């Protein structure tokens, strides 16, 4: 009988009365309490008829119960599919339908549209609200607080995480038990996590960073977390004295640096600050060290691969780099045209291989074949180089992607919405520097001859169909888009033109 993910991360703590989650209201949830809550959810899902391998789509606010559904899925051999709480019902419909989810767990506020969708698709729909109440909790309440862990192999699927594509169609990245477990264990070793660590957790739990990096590492080490609903400066400042580590996107660090209450004294006792999901500006790294004496440890990962590289815990954490490949991860720089490896120092596409690399995109064999080579190397779409000392530098992207506050935004998705509107001949969506989010979205719209599009009306349509974080912070009108001789839109020229739009 075995289930590597459940046994390794959760089962290992059975019966422990040590704290796992410290909540904002002062409540503490022990490992034992958490695991019994998860077992009840596993029983509830079994009662709903779910079978190992079924997908469970979850769009709920961050709460201990939400995290317990992840544990319950691992224990019951179900595939956990967390979804950004900002997604609109339009966006959700695609993920739910594409994944063939058997169960949708959503906030009570979405019960009607998602219940209708579930009925249409032959799925079940249950609710779980931010305060932990809901129909799933009601069902779980009276069920046993133990559950016979379902047998699974390391190669079985544990989670689907959707990641957008350059064509505008999202892809479900299939992650196995071993992908998650091996990476968590590697990071515990590399970052020297122990049961004494208390992680300040202010990230969302529907993405790799907050769920697999922060949470799995804490679980694998047997530590605990301050489990905050979201990033809130007041809360961070208040909890920091009792934490030992924090993980965040660069916006966390720039916001902390902008707050007078964040001082050297406040951070003095901290063991480690980790940054990732987006480039940390070297100037932020340096400013942070000047203020606190701590060097932020920057690492690099992807939904498809978990973490690939990290700056060293003990050696020099070098600003503007993402450090070295993690143990067990091979990383090479290749020529985007030929796929051949390039000499040290040259810029090319980053490819990675290792136990962390996903199994492929759900029901998309062509897309999988285009990005995941037969020999196991995954083409990340990032451009980088390795310097003579082995540090990996990310210098750009070979994919049309904007990263705003750590959230990925694929321009094509927004362009498709804009292009569909009356009076719009075509559009180009670009990312420009932003002091808070790192990058932000600008929509460039070319009107049909003789028309003047109403930018407010365009924003209304975008608001209805896409999550808030994807909305252009500005729409500008241009007579025509710059193109090269092949007719391809030159987004670089647009980025240069609007570079200073949000300059502080």
The residue ranges that bind ligand MCA (CB under 6 A) are: 203-204, 207-210, 231, 249, 251, 276-277, 301-303, 404-407, 437, 468-469
409 belongs to the binding site for ligand AMP (CB under 6 A): no
382 belongs to the binding site for ligand AMP (CB under 6 A): yes
Whole-number minimum distance, CB 431 to ligand MCA, in Å? 11
Whole-number minimum distance, CB 441 to ligand MCA, in Å? 8
154 belongs to the binding site for ligand AMP (CB under 6 A): no
Instruction: Pick what 210 binds: ligand AMP, ligand MCA, none; C-beta below 5 to 8 Å, kind-dependent.
Output: ligand MCA
**Separation CA 128–CA 136 (nearest Å):** 6
Which among 359, 358, 341 has a CA at the least distance from the CA of 350?
Answer: 341
Nearer to ligand AMP, 31 or 358 (CB): 358
What are 440's strand-pairing partners? 432
When CB distances to ligand AMP are compared, the closest residue is: 303
Among 75, 277, 292, 306, binds ligand AMP (CB under 6 A): 277
Whole-number minimum distance, CB 446 to ligand AMP, in Å? 28
Which among 23, 437, 62, 468 has a CA at the least distance from the CA of 252?
Answer: 437
**Separation CA 227–CA 222 (nearest Å):** 15
304 with 163: CB under 8 angstroms?
A: yes
Nearer to ligand MCA, 124 or 285 (CB): 285
Whole-number minimum distance, CB 124 to ligand AMP, in Å? 29
Among 154, 223, 301, 323, binds ligand AMP (CB under 6 A): 301
Report how many residues bind ligand AMP under the rule CB under 6 A: 19
What own/partner pairs with CB < 8 Å and gap ≥ 24 does 313-321 have? Answer: 313/190, 313/191, 313/192, 313/272, 317/285, 318/391, 319/280, 319/282, 319/285, 319/286, 319/295, 320/281, 320/282, 320/285, 320/393, 321/387, 321/391, 321/392, 321/393
Q: Which stretch binds ligand AMP (CB under 6 A): 225-233, 264-272, 299-307, 495-503?
A: 299-307
Instruction: Pick what 394 binds: ligand MCA, ligand AMP, none; C-beta below 5 to 8 Å, kind-dependent.
Output: ligand AMP
DSSP state of 86: T
Classified as helix, coil or strand, 329 is coil
When CB distances to ligand MCA are compared, the closest residue is: 405
393 belongs to the binding site for ligand AMP (CB under 6 A): no
- CA torsion, points 453, 455, 456, 457, in degrees to nearest 10? 40
298 belongs to the binding site for ligand AMP (CB under 6 A): yes
Nearer to ligand AMP, 102 or 308 (CB): 308
Instruction: Pick what 99 binds: ligand MCA, ligand AMP, none; C-beta below 5 to 8 Å, kind-dependent.
Output: none
Which among 104, 114, 50 has a CA at the least distance from the CA of 81?
Answer: 104
Lay out the site mask for ligand AMP across 436-475 (x = CB under 6 A, - = otherwise): ----------------------------------------
Q: Which stretch binds ligand AMP (CB under 6 A): 275-283, 417-425, 429-437, 458-466?
A: 275-283
**Separation CA 84–CA 60 (nearest Å):** 8
What are 103's strand-pairing partners? 56, 124
Lay out the site mask for ligand AMP across 193-222 (x = CB under 6 A, - = otherwise): ---------------x--------------
Helix, strand and coil percent figures for the chain, each rounded to 5: 35, 25, 40
Neighbouring C-beta atoms of residue 344, cutoff 10 Å: 12
Nearer to ligand MCA, 20 or 252 (CB): 252
For the stretch 354-376, what's the b/e string if a residue is b when 16 or more beta carbons lie within 10 angstroms of its beta carbon? bbbbbbbbbebeebbeebbeeee
Nearer to ligand MCA, 154 or 204 (CB): 204
Whole-number minimum distance, CB 276 to ligand AMP, in Å? 4
Task: Give CA 504 to chain center in angstroms.
Answer: 27
300 belongs to the binding site for ligand AMP (CB under 6 A): yes
**Separation CA 488–CA 479 (nearest Å):** 16
Instruction: Pick what 87 binds: ligand AMP, ligand MCA, none; C-beta below 5 to 8 Å, kind-dependent.
Output: none
Whole-number minimum distance, CB 231 to ligand MCA, in Å? 4
Among 43, 380, 427, 440, binds ligand AMP (CB under 6 A): 380
Whole-number minimum distance, CB 246 to ligand AMP, in Å? 15
Which among 407, 402, 404, 429 has a CA at the least distance from the CA of 418?
Answer: 429
Instruction: Pick what 57 binds: ligand MCA, ligand AMP, none; C-beta below 5 to 8 Å, kind-dependent.
Output: none
Instruction: Pick what 391 binds: ligand MCA, ligand AMP, none; C-beta below 5 to 8 Å, kind-dependent.
Output: none
Task: Give CA 180 to chain center in angstroms.
Answer: 14
Strands across the sheet containing 79-82: 124-127, 103-106, 55-59, 79-82, 157-163, 171-176, 360-361
Q: Which stretch binds ligand AMP (CB under 6 A): 252-260, 277-285, 443-451, 468-476?
A: 277-285
Whole-number minimum distance, CB 97 to ligand MCA, in Å? 23
**Separation CA 167–CA 480 (nearest Å):** 22
Instruction: Pick what 231 binds: ligand AMP, ligand MCA, none; C-beta below 5 to 8 Å, kind-dependent.
Output: ligand MCA
Question: How many residues are listed for the chain in this entry?
Answer: 504
Residues engaged in binding ligand AMP (CB under 6 A) = 163, 208, 276-279, 298, 300-303, 322, 380-382, 394, 397, 403, 408
């Amino acid at each position: 009988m075995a289930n590597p993910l459940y046994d390794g991360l959760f089962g290992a703590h059975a019966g422990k009365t040590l704290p796992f989650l410290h909540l904002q209201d002062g409540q503490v949830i022990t490992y034992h309490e958490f695991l019994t809550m998860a077992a009840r959810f596993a029983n509830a899902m079994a009662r709903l008829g779910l079978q190992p391998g079924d997908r469970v789509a979850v769009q709920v606010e961050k709460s201990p119960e939400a995290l317990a559904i992840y544990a319950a899925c691992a224990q019951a051999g179900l595939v956990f599919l967390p979804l950004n709480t900002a997604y609109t019902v339009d966006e959700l419909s695609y993920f739910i339908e594409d994944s063939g989810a058997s169960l949708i767990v959503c906030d009570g506020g979405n019960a009607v549209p998602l219940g209708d969708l579930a009925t249409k698709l032959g799925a079940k729909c249950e609710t779980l609200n931010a305060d932990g109440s809901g129909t799933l909790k009601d069902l779980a309440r009276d069920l046993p607080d133990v559950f016979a862990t379902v047998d699974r192999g390391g190669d079985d699927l544990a989670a689907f995480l959707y990641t957008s594509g350059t064509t505008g169609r999202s892809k479900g990245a299939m992650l196995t038990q071993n992908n998650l477990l091996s990476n968590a264990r590697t990071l515990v070793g590399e970052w020297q996590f122990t049961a004494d660590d208390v992680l300040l957790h202010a990230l969302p739990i529907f993405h790799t960073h907050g769920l697999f990096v922060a949470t799995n590492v804490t679980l694998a080490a047997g530590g605990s977390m301050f489990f905050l609903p979201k990033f809130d400066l007041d809360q961070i400042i208040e909890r920091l004295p009792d934490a030992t580590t924090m993980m965040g996107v660069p916006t966390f660090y720039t916001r902390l640096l902008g707050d007078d209450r964040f001082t050297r004294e406040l951070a003095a006792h901290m063991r480690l600050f980790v940054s990732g999901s987006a480039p940390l500006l070297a100037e932020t790294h340096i400013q942070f060290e000047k203020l606190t004496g701590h060097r932020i440890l920057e690492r690099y990962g992807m939904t498809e691969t978990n973490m690939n590289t990290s700056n060293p815990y003990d050696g020099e954490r070098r600003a503007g780099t993402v450090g070295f490949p993690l143990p067990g991860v091979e990383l090479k720089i290749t020529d985007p045209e030929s796929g051949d490896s390039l000499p040290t120092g040259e810029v090319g596409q980053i490819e990675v291989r290792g136990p962390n690399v996903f199994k492929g995109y759900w029901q998309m064999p062509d897309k999988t074949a285009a990005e995941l080579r037969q020999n196991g190397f995954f083409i990340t779409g990032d451009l980088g180089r390795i310097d003579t000392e082995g540090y990996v530098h990310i210098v750009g992207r070979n994919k049309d992607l904007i990263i705003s506050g750590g959230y990925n935004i694929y321009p094509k998705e927004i362009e498709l919405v804009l292009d569909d509107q009356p009076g719009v001949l075509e559009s180009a969506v670009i990312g420009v520097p932003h002091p808070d989010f790192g990058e932000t979205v600008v929509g460039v719209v070319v009107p049909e001859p003789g028309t003047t599009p109403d930018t407010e009306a365009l924003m209304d349509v975008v608001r209805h169909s896409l999550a808030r974080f994807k909305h252009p912070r500005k729409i500008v009108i241009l007579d025509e888009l710059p193109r090269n001789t092949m007719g391809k839109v030159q987004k670089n020229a647009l980025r240069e033109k609007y570079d200073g739009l949000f300059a502080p």
